[in-house]
Structures are given as C-alpha cells and as structure tokens.
Chain A
Amino acid sequence: MADAGREVRNVIVIGSGPAGLTAALYTARANLKPLVIEGLEAGGQLMLTTLVENFPGFRQGIMGPELMGEMRAQAEHFGAEIIRGSVTSVDLLSRPYTVTTTDAEYHCRTLIIATGASARLLGLPSERALIGHGVSTCATCDGYFFRGKPIAVVGGGDSAMEEAMFLTRFASHVTVVHRRDTLRASKIMQDKAFANPKISFEWNADVEEITDTAKGEVTAIVLRNNVTGVRKEIPVDGVFVAIGHTPNTALFRGHLDTDPNGYIITHAGTRTSAPGVFACGDVQDHIYRQAITAAGSGCMAAIDAEKYLEGLPQHLGEATLTA
C-alpha cells in the first residue's frame, strides 16, 4: 500500500459536499493546505437535485451540481487539494491519525468528518432486487425513464414532495405513499403538492412489496393500510423512495461517540469525542439538514481545527509517528 511519504497533514477533510468543501475553503485560506478525500458520492446530496432556491446569494436559484462545482473550484482556488477515492478505514487511536483509502494511507493532526448522509431504503428484498429496474432514490437521475407512466413516491417529507413534483414532469400520475395521515413536509411544499393535479396521496400506507421481481421490472406497489389493515395494489412502473437518510458513520463506529441513530455527537461547536476530530454537515445533524447549515458547520469545523492546531505542541504528530 502506498504511504503518502509519511507526510503529516494539518487537516484532512473526508467528504466533498457543502460541509466538506466549506471546511476546505476556510482551512485552505488559513494556509493549512487541507487534503479533501471526496468519496464515492462526491459533491454530496446536492448533486442529485435540480434548482436550489434557498441558498442565499442566488435570487434566481442555482442548479445543485453547479453550486457544488463552484464550491469545489473556490476551495481549490485557495489551495485545497481534492483527491478522488473513498476512505476504507480510519485509525483514531494513535496520533497522528491515519486515514486509509482504496489507494493510499494518509496521516493528519486534525480530521474533519463531512461524510454526510445517504438515502435510506425501505429494506424490502423486492426493493433491492428492482433497483435500477424501476426502483430509485434519485428522481433527477431516473425520472426520464417514466415518461407517460404512473409512478409512486414513498415518503412524506420535503424531499418526497420535491421528488413527487419533479416527477410530474415525466409521469402520467404520481401517487405519494405515506405511512402517516399527515405530511412532515413544510407548509409551502405541502401546498404545492396538494395543488398539483397529477399528484394523489395514499395515507397510513405501509409498503409491503414491490412487484414483479420475476419479470425484473416494477409493475405495482403493494400497500397495507396500517389503520384498517386493508391491502391495496397500485399498478406503477416506477417507485421512488424518499424516506429520509442515514448518516455515513460506519467508518467511525467504535472510534467516536454517536447517537442511537448513528449520527456523530458534537459538542462545543463541532468537536467530537476524539481530540482534533471535528464533524460537520449532515453526518452530525438530523434536524436542519440544509446546504446552508452544512456549509455553516463546515466553516465552524475549520475554525475549530485551526484553533486546535494553534494549541498543539510543535511536531507532536511527527514525534509519535517515529515512536
């Protein structure tokens, strides 16, 4: 395995969404020469969106992928080094910390975790079998395949409403399937969804199955009303799952304190349970989950890391490395 010259970095940022790239921008401008390991889902969740209308500074809105391209270019402009690859393991027990990717091993004095969260699935075997054949978690990627076809969106939050409305551009009809009798989505999104003639709702509905795995394509979604117990099969060609996210924290299990849902616990800003390790963005936030709050916490992590490095005895990293 390549060892990146036994060099000890001041800062490694894991993740390249709004949190990671803002942390990179600030640490780069502080002359800390951050290394950003972008990860598989580089650019984060905004890469899967279309028009972002609530990021301040863009009165006409900006396309998600374009916003991320700008953030990335801005961080690079100030000297952040961004590399492809995914982190396979971290060692936070000995210092300097070690971050291993599929290609190399890196060492750092501070680590900023911005690994975000990924779309959650229902967990049905039929769902897994039909991913790519009608089951999707990305409306902007896959809506195109359902021109003139009926589809279902599972979920009741803002993302589900956004997906449902986006999908009405292609689909003949969109059925929103939600397990409660009210939506969790914000008022503005609810109003838009209720007003859309192409969207209807199935309330108190649990998804039992997606058919037809034998055919290798989606033909229907089978629902069970969790109040009445009545089963119902709705013929659809596609099922879009938008039931929330799970934090990408598998790498840090056993190294850092997490809450029962797996989110990294932060205190006094972005500090985690390990000294010099900071977390920002959706990996530590299940409440706000916005591009702007992720970017804000990325800035906080950068400043926290900078302060931490200022207080670090000189060459601590190198000394322990040769020990």
Chain B
Amino acid sequence: MASDKVQTITDGNFDSTISGGKPVLVDFWAEWCGPCRRLAPTVEELAGHYDGKVVVGKLNVDENPNTTFKFSVRGIPTLLLFKGGQVVEQVVGLADTAALKKVIDKHVA
C-alpha cells in the first residue's frame, strides 16, 4: 500500500539506491510491527514533501536481513538517512512529520 513515491528497497537494490546523488531515507519495517504501521503514512507524507530531492524507500526487515544486520538495526521502526552512501541520521521509534522534517532538512540543500 506504499504510494508510488515510496520506493521498495531490498538487499538486491540497496547499494545502487544509496549511491545515487540524492539523500536516501530508508524506513526499516515489518508487517508484524504495530508502530511501523503507524509510521507508514508519515513516511508517505515525507516522500511527497521531498519528491525529487530525497529518495524515500521502505525496506522490509523480514525479507532483507542482510542490509538490516549490516546497519545493526535491532529495533523497528528505524529510519536511516543516507547521504553520499553514508548514514548521516538515525531515528528509532515513532516520530511525527514535523520532527522528521527538521532532521532531514539539515541534509537537504
């Protein structure tokens, strides 16, 4: 039910996705995680707001364990913001749109 602005990120396309020119926001989530479902509309809102400026994607931790473990994600929802292929921000747990915009805006020219 992700909108078309939210990409699906997998172990397979992760490296190519984060090595593009734009910052990338990755939402680590799972079907069975209640708070992840609560965060989903916020992530969609961010995808619309930063359309063309920030790539926004969701990574299902169940289906993509390699990336999940590579970044030591042991709690969800976790949002990681990548810039130049590196993690520049991390938000664990629920946060509202306004708070997340503040975090992302630091890295968007």
Which residue numbers of A lie inside 8 Å of B, CB to CB? 40-43, 47-48, 64-65, 84-86, 102, 131-136, 138, 140-142, 144-146, 216-218, 238
B38 sits at the interface (CB 8 A)? yes
A132 touching B38, Cβ below 8 Å: no
Query: Could you tell me the distance between the alpha carbons of A65 and B90 in the complex, rounded to whole angstroms?
Result: 26
Residue of B nearest to A217 (CB): B72
Query: Could you tell me the distance between the alpha carbons of A134 and B37 in the complex, rounded to whole angstroms?
Result: 21
For residue A47, which residues in chain B have a CB less than 8 angstroms away from its CB? 34-35, 38
B32 touching A144, Cβ below 8 Å: yes
B59 sits at the interface (CB 8 A)? no
CB contact under 8 A between A142 and B32, given known A40-B95, A65-B37: no
For residue B73, which residues in chain A have a CB less than 8 angstroms away from its CB? 132-133, 145
B94 touching A132, Cβ below 8 Å: no
B90 touching A41, Cβ below 8 Å: no
Chain B nearest Cβ from A38, distance in angstroms? 9
18 contacts between A and B (CB under 8 A): A40-B95, A41-B35, A41-B94, A42-B38, A65-B34, A85-B96, A86-B96, A134-B74, A134-B75, A140-B32, A140-B34, A141-B34, A141-B75, A142-B75, A142-B76, A144-B30, A145-B74, A238-B74
CB-CB contacts below 8 Å: B69-109 with A: 72-78, 90, 92-98
For residue B35, which residues in chain A have a CB less than 8 angstroms away from its CB? 41, 47-48, 138, 141
List 7 other contacts, CB 8 Å, given A133-B74, A217-B74.
A40-B96, A131-B75, A132-B78, A132-B93, A138-B35, A141-B35, A144-B32
Which residue numbers of B lie inside 8 Å of A, CB to CB? 30, 32-38, 41, 61-62, 68, 72-78, 90, 92-98
A216 touching B75, Cβ below 8 Å: no
Residue of A nearest to B41 (CB): A84
Query: Could you tell me the distance between the alpha carbons of A102 and B102 in the complex, rounded to whole angstroms?
Result: 13
For residue B41, which residues in chain A have a CB less than 8 angstroms away from its CB? 84
Chain A nearest Cβ from B21, distance in angstroms? 28
CB contact under 8 A between A141 and B78, given known A131-B92, A132-B93: no
For residue A136, which residues in chain B have a CB less than 8 angstroms away from its CB? 74-75
Query: Could you tell me the distance between the alpha carbons of A37 and B77 in the complex, rounded to whole angstroms?
Result: 22
A132 touching B92, Cβ below 8 Å: yes
Query: Could you tell me the distance between the alpha carbons of A102 and B30 in the complex, rounded to whole angstroms?
Result: 27
For residue B33, which residues in chain A have a CB less than 8 angstroms away from its CB? 140-141
Residue of B nearest to A102 (CB): B98
Residue of B nearest to A68 (CB): B34
For residue A145, which residues in chain B have a CB less than 8 angstroms away from its CB? 61, 68, 73-75
Residue of B nearest to A142 (CB): B75
B36, B68, B90, B97: the one contacting A141 at CB < 8 Å is B36
Residue of A nearest to B29 (CB): A141
Chain B nearest Cβ from A1, distance in angstroms? 12
Most buried by A among B33, B34, B68, B77: B34
5 closest pairs, A vs B, by CB?
A: A132-B92, A47-B34, A132-B75, A145-B74, A102-B98
For residue A142, which residues in chain B have a CB less than 8 angstroms away from its CB? 74-76
Query: Could you tell me the distance between the alpha carbons of A145 and B32 in the complex, rounded to whole angstroms?
Result: 13
Most buried by A among B68, B75, B76, B93: B75
For residue B74, which residues in chain A have a CB less than 8 angstroms away from its CB? 132-134, 136, 142, 145-146, 217-218, 238
Query: Could you tell me the distance between the alpha carbons of A140 and B77 in the complex, rounded to whole angstroms?
Result: 12
A102 touching B90, Cβ below 8 Å: no
Chain B nearest Cβ from A211, distance in angstroms? 15
B34 touching A144, Cβ below 8 Å: no
For residue A86, which residues in chain B have a CB less than 8 angstroms away from its CB? 96
Chain B nearest Cβ from A4, distance in angstroms? 17
Query: Could you tell me the distance between the alpha carbons of A278 and B61 in the complex, rounded to whole angstroms?
Result: 41
